[in-house]
Amino acid sequence: MSHTDPLAHVRDLFDLDDEVVYLDGNSLGAPPRNVAERVQDVIANQWGRRLIRGWSEGWWTAPERVGDRVGRLVGAAPGQVVVADSTSVNLFKALMAAVRGTDRAEIVVDAGTFPTDGYVARSVAELSGLALRPVDPEHLDPTDATAVVLLNHVDYRTGRLLDMAEATERVHAVGAKVVWDLCHSVGVLPIELDRLGVDLAVGCTYKFLNGGPGSPAFLYVPKDAQADFHQPLTGWTGHREPFAMSTDYTPDDGVSRARVGTPDIISMLALDAALDVWDQVDLADVRAKGLALTAHFRGLVEGLPGIEVITPADERRGHQVSLRHPDAKALMDRLAERRVIGDHRPPDVLRFGFAPLYNTFEDAERAAAALEGLL
């Protein structure tokens, strides 16, 4: 069966081992070829030759500049996304800012959320004196008591995609705020944060954005909310005049107030280099290919002995296919021995993440054949 692939040429931009079928881009994206050369330049020239002058020659403004590049992928106009810190830290900032001064009683969180989101939400609830109420996001029921709702756009375990427009509207209907975690959807499908009036959003860059292990995360704060965005981590780089060394903290007027400490420049600029590949593609093509890839793989593995597909069959899914099998961990280990790399989520889930920029239909077929052989 032949498949049209408008992104076939993009695979050549990545440094890949053709002997390996890599289907774990939803945990760690593959490196674009240009990243190694760019990082070498950062180390040898920008740091090695320019030394401290690098800060005034582009390093200091990198969080905002790279943030704008990420913003283009999530439907955010310039000046609303900053790249800094980790997803967990940014989530803490966002939730604390969202509940600051509220007279409401609860924080609502996706009951099946990625664990760090749940941990952070619980800490915020404890610090703010609010109750934490887990809910099934498919039956979202915010009330007049809800201050903020934290939702995962794509469920990390099943790949289920939430309707951002519908959920955001439902939260706003009761006067609450919504914070979206985009870790498993950024770089997967078109996202429209500005158009949908999203209050705040966070996400990582080392999955489908291919920024590298531990690359800095991002935080979205819309312009009309920036003046009231009072985050709890008032570090010096979020100051209006960071080099004035004032003893009083005055936040920056814009999205830079979301910054905290000194940015990780080497990792930041590796991400900046990785984002170059997005200049070559249209997110509509990425989404179309992702749906086709996952549908093709699903069709190949459905009906295999002992396999249950738990990812939605319709378009309410990200770019992964999750399977349930009682021996999931052993199967994934044996697949890795056969150079098919996915991942396992306890107790019984096998995840196969398809990155449309570099995964192919042949990858899907090789992975399915290896799994069938083991079963």
Whether 297 is a known active-site residue: answer no
Active-site annotation holder among 14, 22, 92, 114: 114
The reply to whether 249 belongs to the active site is no
Count Cβ atoms below 10 Å from residue 345 Cβ, excluding itself. 16
Q: Which residue in 155, 181, 199, 264 is the catalytic one?
A: 181
Find the catalytic residue in 11, 93, 207, 317. Answer: 207
Q: Is the distance from CB of 210 to CB of 359 less than 8 angstroms?
A: no
Catalytic residue among 22, 206, 297, 361: 206
Residue ranges of the annotated binding site are: 87-88, 114-117, 181, 184, 206, 236, 262
Residue ranges of the annotated binding site for pyridoxal 5'-phosphate are 87-88, 114-117, 181, 184, 206, 236, 262
Q: Is 65 a catalytic residue?
A: no
Catalytic residue chosen out of the listed positions 351, 352, 354, 361: 351
Residues whose CB falls within 8 Å of the CB of residue 341, separated by 6 or more in sequence, listed in order: 20, 21, 22, 23, 24, 335
Query: DSSP per residue over 248-278, as a string?
Result: S--B-SSGGGG--S---HHHHHHHHHHGGGG
161: which strand partners? 154
351 is catalytic: yes
Q: Is residue 165 within a helix (H) or strand (E), and if so which, with residue range?
A: helix 164-173
344 three-state secondary structure: strand
Spatial distance between the Cα atoms of 195 and 26, rounded to a whole number of angstroms: 26
Q: 49 catalytic, yes or no?
A: no
Residue of 155, 206, 152, 156 whose CA lies nearest to 181: 152
Which residues have a catalytic role annotated?
114, 181, 206-207, 351
